[in-house]
């Protein structure tokens, strides 16, 4: 190696060149060391580089900039957290907003369980903490892992950060279950939030909008020593994987948390009726301002774990729980403009551009105006002072104009009849059956409309669809604008085209070797997506995550779905098959058929399938004797309600159909079964009783 020129012999130009080169080299070593945990240089050599860099800067101080490595405290943080797959998904709660909805919740639970109005039913009520949820895994009593909720299935590994929260024990007391995943909320108190923001302000850092953001920002620090300086707290209220539950009811579980040394909220009570729940709700609402931490509602949970198991889940929320949200907060501001956004399905959505205003601790500058009819009905005009409302995480909405403050020269708003993006006509479809116009105006330029294409691509790559990290909304917009990605298949040829091209992605602004490498790796990792995600990613109208899962479960493979959907013209047997899948129906079946028979889509799919192999659904409970079978329930059931039986069958991986056909594998018939039972006999479909069903489902009668 060439001996370095002594510093006092360097001229200004040499110094500048060497300083810049060293800066890059050191930054790259920092990244390898901190972000990849894979240094390629010894500590001594690294120190030597750094000393030389500092010496040049001392001799030529004019070279120093605010970005100089000497100005940075510590090193570049890791770019991201490791991912942790939750062993039991972290679900969300269904919301209720009014007293009537609380009464309905209790009625629904009773009906599902087949409980008469006088049968006892205990339900807990506790504050809904406005923080961020976190799952703590204890093995043999030791805290071994902590993860954020993430998308509910996969969160971020924040173990090191959670260990700095004083209130969370590193070791549980007494004799906890061998495996104990405790879930709860990490939050910050009002006082600590105010003090933190004051400190942030003093050092010129951005202020946090509210305690929840502050808690999230503090927990999700790549450097745990920063988390350690932030005063975070925790309330345990739920659990994931547990080797042996220490109690058989919600109240008992929370008592066990406390016994093992975990903090729990003191305001949890056991109620016995909707009236009880509402009374506790009112009490908590009154205490809200003096609690010292943010809560945004009250959570109700069926107390008995056995009943919880029977109730199960709809989509991603438990049937046995509900979040009763506090009423929304309101504010007034001026409506400066109405922007029309065009969505994936061509829907024109009006978005209000507002003078920024703080509502419930959050600055709001945009809000939804719902649709054309709402704007007309409320006569909302640009320039109006409007009332806006924000409830929890819901997008803020414009409630209406304050007429007394209306400017004299204002004019009624005219909703555009052409698409602001592609100029095609935008129309409101007429429902053939009812003759009514759809509330949504849609752009008719489906194949030429850039907005629809871009939104479709964003949806394709989004978290609940293919989940391609590094290909977010901003990147897709850029790549689309530059002609790099026009259809989903283009995503998968991006790397090969980049290799062949002279204009490399890594030379773009905001990109570099590493980010491009990461992006390509993320795309590579999605060449075999789970079937349900793939179907959802296609953005078929009326096919959200739940319907995508139903289709995936029913058809098993993409080829099978496509073969049937392609021939599913109105009145065909194929259409009836889709229609008959439990939970789908006419509208969805038509949308699926439309999608797969559209010529343009055929081309897009063919191209895509050259690069992507959707994987059959993770065999849900494939060991169960009814997995993959199509079952029809008929007649009255005595041991459980029809809804409960259906949910149970679906949990076991069966498909539940509404009517008996050649495709039916099993009919479960209770007393009073009529035509379906006859049809089963005619087609020779196996028929069993409710008792036999329970045995099959593993609940010995
Ligand atoms: S129970 C399966 N209890 O609310 C249900 N959640 O909207 C598990 N939350 O993700 C949640 N306080 O972050 C439950 N006392 C409480 C809660 C609570 C706050 C959050 C939690 C959850 C979200 C659902």
Condensed to tens digits (0 to 9), the pLDDT of residues 647-683 reads: 788 877 788 888 899 889 999 988 888 888 889 989 9
H/E element, 560: helix 558-566
How many CB atoms neighbour CB 277 within 10 A? 24
Establish whether residue 318 lines the binding site of ligand 1, counting it when its CB lies within 6 angstroms of any ligand atom.
yes
DSSP state of 429: P
Establish whether residue 91 lines the binding site of ligand 1, counting it when its CB lies within 6 angstroms of any ligand atom.
yes
DSSP state of 288: G
Establish whether residue 237 lines the binding site of ligand 1, counting it when its CB lies within 6 angstroms of any ligand atom.
yes
Contact 273, 103 (CB under 8 A): no
Mean pLDDT is lowest, of 340-354, 395-409, 591-605, 629-643, for 629-643
Establish whether residue 182 lines the binding site of ligand 1, counting it when its CB lies within 6 angstroms of any ligand atom.
no
Establish whether residue 264 lines the binding site of ligand 1, counting it when its CB lies within 6 angstroms of any ligand atom.
no
From 90, 150, 185, 294, the mutation candidate for ligand 1 (largest count of ligand atoms within 8 A of CB) is: 185
Residue with tokens 């042996």: 244
Residue nearest to atom 21 of ligand 1 (CA): 133
Is residue 457's pLDDT more than 60? yes
Higher per-residue pLDDT: 628 or 459: 459
Cα(146) to centroid of ligand 1, in Å?
17
pLDDT in tens, 266-289: 999 999 999 999 999 999 999 988
Ligand 1 atom closest to the CA of 317, numbered from 1:
2
Cα(92) to centroid of ligand 1, in Å?
6
Residue nearest to atom 15 of ligand 1 (CA): 128
What pLDDT score does 70 carry? 65
What pLDDT score does 62 carry? 85
Question: Please, which pLDDT band fits residue 74 given cuts at 50, 70 and 90?
Answer: very low
Contact 392, 95 (CB under 8 A): yes
Beta-carbon-side half-sphere exposure of residue 129 (alpha carbons within 13 Å)? 26
Share of the chain above pLDDT 90, in %: 59
From the options 3.50.50.60, 1.10.150.20, 2.40.420.20, 3.60.21.10, give the CATH code of 531-609: 1.10.150.20
Establish whether residue 323 lines the binding site of ligand 1, counting it when its CB lies within 6 angstroms of any ligand atom.
yes
Establish whether residue 126 lines the binding site of ligand 1, counting it when its CB lies within 6 angstroms of any ligand atom.
yes
Residue nearest to atom 16 of ligand 1 (CA): 128
For 285-299, what is the mean pLDDT?
92
Cα(652) to centroid of ligand 1, in Å?
26
Tell me if 83-325 shares its fold with 450-524.
no
Question: Please, which pLDDT band fits residue 562 given cuts at 50, 70 and 90?
Answer: very high
pLDDT in tens, 216-231: 989 988 888 889 999 9
Cα(206) to centroid of ligand 1, in Å?
28
Ligand 1 atom closest to the CA of 133, numbered from 1:
13
From 147, 236, 237, the mutation candidate for ligand 1 (largest count of ligand atoms within 8 A of CB) is: 237
SS3 46: helix
Establish whether residue 185 lines the binding site of ligand 1, counting it when its CB lies within 6 angstroms of any ligand atom.
yes
Is residue 402's pLDDT more than 80? yes
What pLDDT score does 36 carry? 52
Establish whether residue 299 lines the binding site of ligand 1, counting it when its CB lies within 6 angstroms of any ligand atom.
yes
Higher per-residue pLDDT: 409 or 117: 409
**Topology of the domain covering 328-443:** OB fold (Dihydrolipoamide Acetyltransferase, E2P) (2.40.50)
Question: Please, which pLDDT band fits residue 560 given cuts at 50, 70 and 90?
Answer: very high
Q: Locate the DSSP E strands across 110-193.
A: 123-129, 132-139, 142-148, 154-156, 179-187
From 90, 127, 133, the mutation candidate for ligand 1 (largest count of ligand atoms within 8 A of CB) is: 133
Residue nearest to atom 18 of ligand 1 (CA): 128
Which of 35-39, 54-58, 430-434 has the highest mean predicted lDDT (pLDDT)?
A: 54-58
Question: Please, which pLDDT band fits residue 77 given cuts at 50, 70 and 90?
Answer: very low
Mean pLDDT is lowest, of 8-12, 137-141, 444-448, 563-567, for 444-448
**Cα first-last separation, the chain:** 82
What pLDDT score does 393 carry? 58
From 89, 92, 394, the mutation candidate for ligand 1 (largest count of ligand atoms within 8 A of CB) is: 92
Cα(465) to centroid of ligand 1, in Å?
24
For 496-510, what is the mean pLDDT?
89
Residue nearest to atom 24 of ligand 1 (CA): 92
How many CB atoms neighbour CB 389 within 10 A? 18
Q: Can you give the residue ranges of every domain in the chain?
A: 1-35+51-59, 83-325, 328-443, 450-524, 531-609, 630-696
Residues forming beta bridges with residue 156, ordered by sequence position:
83
Establish whether residue 133 lines the binding site of ligand 1, counting it when its CB lies within 6 angstroms of any ligand atom.
yes
Average of per-residue pLDDT values in the chain: 89
pLDDT in tens, 91-137: 889 999 899 999 999 999 999 999 988 899 999 999 999 999 999 99
Residue nearest to atom 1 of ligand 1 (CA): 238
**Topology of the domain covering 450-524:** DNA polymerase; domain 1 (1.10.150)
Establish whether residue 321 lines the binding site of ligand 1, counting it when its CB lies within 6 angstroms of any ligand atom.
yes
> What's the whole-model pTM score?
0.59
Q: Does domain 630-696 have CATH number 3.40.50.10190?
A: yes
Q: Is 391 left (phi over 0), alpha (psi -120 to 50) or beta?
A: beta
Say how far apart CA 532 and CA 547 lie, in whole Å: 9
Q: What's the gap between Cα 256 and its chain centre?
A: 30
Cα(467) to centroid of ligand 1, in Å?
24
What pLDDT score does 71 carry? 58
Question: Please, which pLDDT band fits residue 701 given cuts at 50, 70 and 90?
Answer: very low
587-591 contacts at long range (C-beta below 8 A, 24 or more positions apart) = 587/542, 588/542, 588/543, 588/547, 591/540, 591/541, 591/542, 591/543
Establish whether residue 271 lines the binding site of ligand 1, counting it when its CB lies within 6 angstroms of any ligand atom.
no
- Token readout for 341 is 């956004």
Positions annotated as catalytic residues are 128
Say how far apart CA 208 and CA 294 lie, in whole Å: 14
DSSP state of 280: H
DSSP state string for 301-369: EESBHHHHHHH-EETTEETTEEEEEPPPEEEEEEEEEEEEEE-TT-BEEEEEEEEEEEETTEEEEEEE-
From the options 1.10.443.10, 3.40.50.2300, 3.30.470.30, 2.60.40.1180, give the CATH code of 83-325: 3.30.470.30
Say how far apart CA 467 and CA 446 lie, in whole Å: 24
Q: Is the dihedral of CA 605, 609, 615, 616 positive or negative?
A: positive
Residue with tokens 């087949």: 114
Ligand 1 atom closest to the CA of 128, numbered from 1:
12
Establish whether residue 254 lines the binding site of ligand 1, counting it when its CB lies within 6 angstroms of any ligand atom.
no
For 163-173, what is the mean pLDDT?
95
Is residue 449's pLDDT more than 90? yes
SS3 433: coil
- The angle formed by the CA atoms of residues 338, 339 and 342, to the nearest 5 degrees, is 140
DSSP state string for 584-630: --HHHHHHHHHHHH-HHHHHHHHHHHTT--PBPPP-TTTTSTTTT-E
Exposed (0-12), middle (13-18) or buried (19+): which is 266, by Cβ within 10 Å? exposed
Question: Please, which pLDDT band fits residue 317 given cuts at 50, 70 and 90?
Answer: confident
How many CB atoms neighbour CB 445 within 10 A? 20
Is residue 1's pLDDT more than 50? no
Establish whether residue 215 lines the binding site of ligand 1, counting it when its CB lies within 6 angstroms of any ligand atom.
no
From 236, 323, 391, 394, the mutation candidate for ligand 1 (largest count of ligand atoms within 8 A of CB) is: 323
């Amino acid at each position: 190696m060439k001996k370095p020129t002594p510093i006092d012999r360097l001229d200004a130009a040499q110094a500048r060149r060497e300083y810049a080169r060293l800066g890059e080299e050191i930054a790259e070593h920092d990244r390898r060391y901190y972000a990849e945990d894979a240094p390629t240089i010894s500590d001594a050599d690294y120190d030597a580089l750094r000393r030389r860099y500092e010496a040049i800067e001392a001799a030529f101080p004019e070279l120093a900039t605010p970005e100089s490595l000497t100005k940075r405290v510590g090193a570049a943080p890791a770019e991201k957290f490791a991912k942790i797959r939750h062993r039991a998904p972290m679900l969300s709660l269904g919301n209720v907003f009014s007293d009537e909805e609380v009464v309905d919740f209790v009625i629904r639970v009773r009906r599902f369980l087949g409980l008469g109005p006088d049968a006892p039913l205990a339900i807990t009520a506790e504050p809904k903490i406005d923080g961020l949820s976190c799952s703590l895994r204890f093995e043999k009593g030791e805290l071994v892992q902590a993860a954020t909720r993430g998308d509910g299935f996969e969160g971020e590994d924040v173990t090191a950060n959670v260990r700095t929260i004083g209130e969370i024990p590193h070791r549980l007391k007494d004799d906890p279950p061998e495996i104990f995943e405790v879930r709860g909320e990490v939050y910050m108190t009002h006082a600590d939030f105010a003090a933190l923001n004051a400190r942030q302000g003093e050092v010129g850092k951005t202020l946090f909008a509210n305690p929840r953001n502050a808690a999230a920002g503090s927990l999700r620090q790549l450097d745990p020593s920063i988390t350690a300086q932030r005063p975070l707290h925790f309330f345990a209220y739920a659990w994931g994987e547990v080797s042996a539950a220490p109690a058989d009811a919600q109240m008992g579980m929370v008592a066990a948390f406390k016994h093992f040394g975990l903090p729990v909220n003191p305001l949890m009570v056991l109620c016995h009726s909707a009236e009880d729940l509402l009374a506790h709700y009112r009490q908590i609402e009154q205490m809200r301002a003096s609690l010292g931490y943010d809560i945004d509602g009250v959570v109700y949970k069926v107390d008995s774990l056995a009943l919880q198991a029977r109730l199960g889940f709809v989509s991603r929320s438990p049937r046995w729980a509900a979040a009763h949200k506090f009423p929304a907060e309101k504010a007034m501001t001026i409506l400066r403009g109405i922007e029309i956004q065009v969505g994936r399905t061509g829907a024109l959505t009006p978005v209000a551009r507002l003078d920024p205003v703080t509502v419930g601790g959050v600055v709001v500058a945009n809000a939804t105006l719902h649709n054309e009819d709402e704007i007309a009905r409320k006569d909302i005009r640009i320039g109006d002072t409007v009332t806006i409302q924000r409830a929890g995480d819901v997008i803020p909405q414009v409630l209406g104009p304050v007429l007394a403050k209306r400017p004299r020269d204002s004019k009624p708003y005219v909703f555009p009849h052409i698409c602001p993006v592609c100029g095609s006509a935008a129309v409101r479809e007429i429902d053939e059956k009812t003759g009514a116009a759809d509330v949504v105006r849609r752009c008719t330029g489906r194949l030429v409309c850039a907005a629809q294409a871009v939104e479709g691509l964003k949806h394709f790559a989004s978290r609940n669809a293919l989940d391609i990290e590094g290909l977010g909304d901003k990147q897709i917009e850029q790549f689309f604008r530059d002609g790099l990605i026009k259809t989903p298949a283009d995503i998968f040829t991006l790397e090969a085209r980049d290799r062949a091209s002279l204009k490399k992605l890594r030379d773009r602004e905001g990109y570099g070797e590493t980010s491009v490498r990461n992006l390509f790796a993320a795309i590579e990792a999605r060449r075999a997506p789970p079937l349900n995600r793939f179907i959802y990613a296609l953005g078929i109208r009326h096919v959200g995550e739940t319907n995508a899962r139903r289709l995936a479960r029913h058809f098993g493979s993409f080829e099978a779905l496509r073969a049937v959907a392609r021939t599913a013209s109105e009145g065909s047997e194929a259409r009836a098959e889709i229609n008959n899948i439990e939970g789908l129906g006419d509208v969805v079946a038509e949308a699926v058929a439309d999608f797969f028979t559209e010529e343009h889509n055929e081309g897009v799919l063919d191209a895509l399938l050259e690069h992507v192999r959707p994987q059959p659904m993770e065999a849900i409970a494939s060991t169960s004797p009814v997995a993959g079978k199509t079952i029809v329930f008929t007649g009255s059931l005595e041991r459980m309600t029809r809804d409960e039986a259906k949910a149970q069958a679906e949990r076991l991986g069966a498909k539940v159909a509404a009517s008996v056909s050649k495709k039916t594998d099993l009919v479960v018939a209770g007393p009073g079964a009529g035509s379906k039972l006859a049809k089963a006999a005619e087609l020779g479909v196996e028929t069993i009783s409710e008792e036999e069903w329970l045995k099959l489902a593993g609940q010995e009668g």
